[in-house]
């Protein structure tokens, strides 16, 4: 009887230990609510010839990972702050609007910040991952104290990016000058190094597959 009782007790303890492991395992593997924030300043050259200093910020979230090996970090929200005209006291801020649903909800990538000559209108063009492996350029225009969607035409003049393209890295330096920004661009895919000539990048640049685009096309070329 003692042996049977002893064996039963051991099985009960093993069962309890297994139950506790099952209950505790999801909590151990689930990403925490912590975030990391990386801030820096960068020089940005506008088409007007002006060089302004822009404050950048990327908030990172846990990206998951294999059990018991911890998790990495993935960009979650990108923010841009600047003054324009440069001597203005107003702080203009833009932050992530769109996410790529098929790429683990990665934020859109700011590529080009510029001001229209003789009009003073501020534009920001980003690259966002869409459905079906598509990438699309989106343009935002700042007017009357707010950002507005300003749809790009189907095709438009190709322009080089002028923003720091390593914004998704935790190792971003505190200050990025124009040369450092150019060097970061050389390491990126051509879809990041430039904007255009097509608004939709579901296929090859210059020959896109338009059926997967979220945006409805305008026929006019800009």
Q: Are 214 and 199 in contact (CB under 8 A)?
A: no
Specify whether 46 is located in the same domain as 63.
yes
Rounded CA-CA distance 175/111 in Å is: 18
Neighbours of 117 (CB within 10 A): 11
Residue 218 lies in a domain: no
Specify whether 9 is located in the same domain as 71.
no
Q: Is pLDDT of 155 > 90?
A: no
Question: Phi-psi category of 120—alpha, beta or left, where left has phi over 0 and alpha has psi -120 to 50?
Answer: left
Give the closest residue to 96 by CA, choosing from 153, 167, 154.
167
Residue 144 lies in a domain: yes
123-151 average pLDDT score: 87
Buried b (16+ CB within 10 A) or exposed e, 121-144: ebbbbbbbbbeeebbbbbbbebee
Please report where in the chains the tokens 């702080």 appear, as a residue. Answer: 91
Confidence of residue 17 (pLDDT cuts 50, 70, 90): very low
Specify whether 42 is located in the same domain as 1.
no
Specify whether 120 is located in the same domain as 82.
yes
pLDDT value for 134 = 77
Partners of 127 in the β-ladder: 109, 137
Higher confidence at residue 136 or residue 30? Answer: 136
Specify whether 44 is located in the same domain as 15.
no
Specify whether 130 is located in the same domain as 104.
yes
Confidence of residue 204 (pLDDT cuts 50, 70, 90): confident
Q: Is pLDDT of 88 > 70?
A: yes
Q: Is pLDDT of 28 > 50?
A: no
Specify whether 124 is located in the same domain as 163.
yes
- Residue 21's domain spans which residues? 1-30
Read off the pLDDT of residues 161-200 as tens digits, 9 standing for 90 and up: 999 999 999 999 999 999 999 999 998 988 899 999 988 8
């Amino acid at each position: 009887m003692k042996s049977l009782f002893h064996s039963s007790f051991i099985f009960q303890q093993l069962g309890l230990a297994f139950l506790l492991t099952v209950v505790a395992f999801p909590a151990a593997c689930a990403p925490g609510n912590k975030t990391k924030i990386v801030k820096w300043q960068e020089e940005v050259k506008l088409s007007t010839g002006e060089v302004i200093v822009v404050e950048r910020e990327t908030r990172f979230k846990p990206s998951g990972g294999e059990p018991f090996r911890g998790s990495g970090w993935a960009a979650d929200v990108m923010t841009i702050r600047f003054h324009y005209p440069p001597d203005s006291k107003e702080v203009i801020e833009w932050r992530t609007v769109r996410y790529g649903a098929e790429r683990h909800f990665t934020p859109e990538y700011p590529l080009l910040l510029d001001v229209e000559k003789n009009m003073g209108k501020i534009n920001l063009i980003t690259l966002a991952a869409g459905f079906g492996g598509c990438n699309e350029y989106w343009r935002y225009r700042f007017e009357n104290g707010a950002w507005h969607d300003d749809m790009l035409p189907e095709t438009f003049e190709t322009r080089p990016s002028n923003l720091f393209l390593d914004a998704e890295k935790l190792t971003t330096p505190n200050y990025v000058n124009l040369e450092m920004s150019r060097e970061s661009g050389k390491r990126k895919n051509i879809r990041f190094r430039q904007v255009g000539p097509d608004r939709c990048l579901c296929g090859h640049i210059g020959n896109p597959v338009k059926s997967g685009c979220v945006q409805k096309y305008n026929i006019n070329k800009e």
